Structure 1
């Protein structure tokens, strides 16, 4: 709980994107679990997807959105899920 409180306090005063704050909060829950359960190793699976689209004033197709979903596990068999965190990054000038 102290780990989560510390991370959330730092995020609250940091000048970061609101979407990043949500991701950090989700990750802090995972970190809290790892610390409280004294987990020695963690395993992660990442699924990355992209949305390709034309951005205004650009003639080529570009990667406009990148979404990464990370699931964290306590075992190498990927059977026990600790939690997950999703990050989404938008290209500059992209409107969804």
Structure 2
């Protein structure tokens, strides 16, 4: 699941997010991969883990639906890169 193109992390709440997905959507997509790090973990726990990764990496996040509420949205590509930093493919 390696990604070849780097995504700049601005950390700005209102920065444009080209391929934005909610943390819940990303969690579902990651669970579908069948990778061991995403199995046997609840959706709530996985969503929290992805939120920690996004904050630790300084990724741009915003609320879907505006600043008043809605789920957090982050770049899917950036989250793939965050995963690769934590779980590199064999031989990397």
Q: Shorter-chain-normalised TM-score: which range?
A: under 0.3
TM-score by length of 2: 0.27
TM-score by length of 1: 0.26
Point out the structure with the larger helix share.
2
Point out the structure with the larger strand share.
1
Q: Which has the larger radius of gyration?
A: 1
Higher normalized contact order (CA 8 Å, seq sep 6+, divided by chain length): 2
